[in-house]
Amino acid sequence: MKKIPIGISSCLLGQQVRFDGSHKRDAYIVGTLSEYFEFHPFCPEVAIGLGIPRPTIHLVKIDNAIRCVGIKDPTLDVTDRLRDYAEQQKDSHAELCGYILKKDSPSCGMERVKVYAGNQPHRNGFGIYAQEMMRNNPLLPVEEEGRLGDPGLRENFIQRVYVLYRWKQLLAEGLSAQSLTRFHARHKLIIMSHADYREMGQLLAGLTKDNLLQVAERYILQLMNTLKTVVSRSNHVNVLQHIQGYLKKELSADDKAELCEIIERYRSGEIPLIVPLTLLKHHFRKSPDPYIEESYYMSPYPQELQLINQL
């Protein structure tokens, strides 16, 4: 499979574009993730002409509006230039399947960026460029490099990247009622791990040739919003037990007992998710089921990423 296009703050790749001429190279990103993702770097502060090195900037609340201004020179206001740059990159951003931002940046921070009111900072802001970019691309999975250190957040981001990538492949191959229904069926167990999948199923129940595009737009927006929730251990257990039901006639009493024990040990936190999934895959190799075989739940992304080993 070809690498998936991902936007990224340039400094995270080791490019020396920060205000002081340094970088914030991230070993996990340039190591593991670069094997699967094709990174497209953006540095809005350099792109709008601030230079390297450059005056430091921060977010300030002025007359109930958030502005991005110079720390030493408050007359330096780059708010509109940062927003304009995000707007100029709309076509480039539309080709992406995810974006990794630099945390705490007044231009690129995804959330909890310091906003100064008087001399008091409050962590309730968004990087100006990042906010505009996310507004323009509501489907796009976005995460900060600092949060990728959390196994649950990392797995959630990468899962969403692969779902959006498959969606774009679907559109490229030609959207039809049949292909949309199959896409949903293959992702149903993933949806179940995040929320009640029946609502999305009902959305597709009224699918016709005439409303295909409208329903598809509503479907993918709802799907990507649903997937933002990090899956709990109890929700994974519900899905594992649901999958187990497809083996109720095939397993011996001993095999059923073993599988129940493994799922219970996962519920209690003794073992990672990879253990019950591996056992289920073993049983389905002996007793194939076409629905389970088509589902992405047990293989949502390349196993070499080893994300499930940590959940």
What pLDDT is stored for residue 168 in this prediction?
98
What pLDDT is stored for residue 58 in this prediction?
97
What pLDDT is stored for residue 196 in this prediction?
85
pLDDT above 70: percentage of residues in the chain: 100
Contacts of 198 (CB under 8 A, 6+ apart): none
Check whether 306 has a pLDDT greater than 80.
no
Cα–Cα distance measured from residue 223 to residue 247, given in angstroms and rounded to the nearest whole number: 28
Check whether 305 has a pLDDT greater than 90.
no
Pairing of strands 113-117, 120-125: antiparallel
pLDDT (tens digit per residue) in 242-275: 999 999 999 999 999 999 999 999 999 999 999 9
Check whether 124 has a pLDDT greater than 90.
yes
CA 95, 98, 102, 107 torsion-angle sign: positive
pLDDT (tens digit per residue) in 35-90: 999 999 999 999 999 999 999 999 999 998 999 999 999 999 999 999 999 999 99
pLDDT (tens digit per residue) in 48-61: 999 999 999 999 99
pLDDT (tens digit per residue) in 186-243: 999 999 999 988 888 889 998 998 999 999 999 999 999 999 999 999 999 999 999 9
Instruction: Say what the pTM is.
Output: 0.94
Helix (H, G, I), strand (E, B), or coil: what is residue 286? helix
Q: What dihedral angle (degrees, nearest 10) is formed by the CA atoms of 199, 200, 202, 207?
A: 160
Helix (H, G, I), strand (E, B), or coil: what is residue 174? coil
What pLDDT is stored for residue 1 in this prediction?
67
Is 282 exposed, middle or buried (CB count within 10 Å of its CB: 0-12, 13-18, 19+)?
A: exposed
What pLDDT is stored for residue 56 in this prediction?
96
Contact status, residue 19 vs residue 53, Cβ threshold 8 Å: yes
Give me the mean pLDDT over the 91-106 stretch: 97
Cα–Cα distance measured from residue 61 to residue 260, given in angstroms and rounded to the nearest whole number: 55
Check whether 33 has a pLDDT greater than 90.
yes
pLDDT band at 139, cuts 50/70/90? very high
Give me the mean pLDDT over the 152-156 stretch: 95
